[in-house]
A and B are shown apart, each in its own frame.
Chain A
Amino acid sequence: AQKVTQAQTEISVVEKEDVTLDCVYETRDTTYYLFWYKQPPSGELVFLIRRNSFDEQNEISGRYSWNFQKSTSSFNFTITASQVVDSAVYFCALNPMDSNYQLIWGAGTKLIIKP
């Protein structure tokens, strides 16, 4: 089965706290891409990161970091020192190489940052 699970439906934290959004995926392919997208209250979908299955290096971009672990089929996303502007729905997605270009989406995690 090809599947993406974001078990956290909603997370609420106070500003400046660190928060981790979980993403667990299933695929039979050895080559695939993983993505994170952000959907703020305004509704647009913003691309955050793409990770190739052969590259397990963690990635850091400012306050954002991603931890990719093939051993546990996880691609978790951490926001350090969260800010109110980080409030959004975050989607994790999988692109297996045999998917005929179709992304397999998680259900999303709604992140609420309280001031």
Chain B
Amino acid sequence: NAGVTQTPKFQVLKTGQSMTLQCAQDMNHNSMYWYRQDPGMGLRLIYYSASEGTTDKGEVPNGYNVSRLNKREFSLRLESAAPSQTSVYFCASSILFPGLADQETQYFGPGTRLLVL
């Protein structure tokens, strides 16, 4: 049981390049999230997917797109990277099922460090 996995762990991009960050969870969770964390700050939600087939914008969606490929996988795409997107990106998942002990608890992947030059 790997929990939440993210690839790659680290990436360097040039301004204008594109890339996709991959996230997968094996906990049978229905909801998945993408966050960014900038130095000395908390987490800011980029996009989330409450269930397979749905995605919604979070606090800072500009410059990003997402795809909920299936129940397990949720990818984040940067179409044209900018230096302002240099950050650590975290994927998380949670289950939304009333009565479960860990309902709505978000479990996080190890993060992807992205540097845009």
B50 within 8 A of A: yes
> Would you call B45 and A102 a contact (CB within 8 A)?
yes
Q: Which residue of A lies closest to B56 (CB)?
A: A100
User: Chain A contacts of B56 at CB under 8 A?
Assistant: 100
Q: How many contacting A-B pairs (Cβ < 8 A)?
A: 51
> Would you call A50 and B102 a contact (CB within 8 A)?
yes
0/1 per residue, B11-51, Cβ < 8 Å to A?
00000000000000000000101000000011111001010
> Would you call A102 and B48 a contact (CB within 8 A)?
yes
0/1 per residue, A97-109, Cβ < 8 Å to B?
0001111011110
B79 within 8 A of A: no
B residues near A (Cβ < 8 Å) are 31, 33, 41-45, 48, 50, 56, 58-59, 88, 90, 92, 94, 96, 102, 104-108, 110-111
